[in-house]
């Protein structure tokens, strides 16, 4: 997966452990926030991820992936009041998955990406969760092109006015 585009729908995040081993095992979806202690926007979003974890229904688990060492991550999360959040402090996991911070990914219970994108505000994150809810019920349909393009007839398109 190219990090410049972030994870695509249906792909798996590249993390050192399964999401269920890191965060709430009974979750039906995961909100994974990618943040960096050196990012100005990330500070507010880290606090927002903590609020979401405390207020969200029980089927959503929040996990943070930090572009930091373990010590930097622990200090950062304490300063934001989010030390209770399950997290991974691993620069490699960060750079393998997203182009930069702040970024959020919503996955299903098995870790397959549903929604992914850069986020700036709590509203952006809540919109992603709503979009994920929609896509869980209405998954995208992929169109498979025919194997033999020469078998396509132009007659139908010639009759279109």
**Domains defined along the chain, listed by start:** 19-158 (3.40.30.10)
Reported pTM: 0.79
pLDDT at 156: 47
pLDDT at 16: 67
- Name the stretches of the chain with pLDDT < 70: 1-4, 16-20, 22-25, 56-58, 142-161
pLDDT at 54: 85
Q: Shortest CA distance to 1 belongs to which of 112, 135, 140, 12?
A: 12
One DSSP character per residue, the chain reads --TTT-PPTT-B---SS-HHHHS-TT-SEEEEEEE-TT-HHHHHHHHHHHHHHHHS-TTEEEEEEESS-HHHHHHHHHHTT-TTS-EEE-HHHHHHH-SSSSEEEEEETT-BEEEEEE--SHHHHHHHHHHHHHHHHSPPPPPPPPS-GGG--SHHHHT--
pLDDT at 71: 95
CA-to-CA distance for 152 and 149, rounded, in angstroms? Answer: 6
pLDDT at 157: 44
The length of the chain in residues reads 161
CA 34 to chain centre: 8
pLDDT at 136: 82
């Amino acid at each position: 997966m190219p990090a410049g585009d972030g994870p695509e729908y249906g792909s798996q995040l590249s993390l050192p452990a399964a999401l269920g081993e890191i965060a709430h095992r009974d979750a039906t979806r995961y909100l994974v926030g990618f943040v960096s202690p050196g990012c100005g926007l990330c500070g507010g979003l880290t606090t927002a991820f903590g609020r979401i974890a405390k207020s969200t229904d029980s089927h959503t688990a929040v996990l943070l992936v930090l572009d930091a060492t373990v010590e930097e991550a622990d200090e950062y999360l304490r300063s934001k009041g989010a030390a209770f959040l399950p997290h991974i402090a691993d620069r490699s996991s960060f750079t393998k998955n997203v182009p930069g911070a702040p970024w959020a990914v919503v996955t299903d219970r098995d870790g397959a990406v549903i929604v992914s994108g850069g986020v700036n505000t709590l509203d952006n994150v809540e919109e992603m969760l709503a979009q994920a809810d929609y896509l869980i019920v209405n998954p995208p349909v992929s169109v498979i092109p025919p194997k033999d393009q020469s078998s396509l007839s132009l007659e139908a398109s010639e009759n279109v006015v």
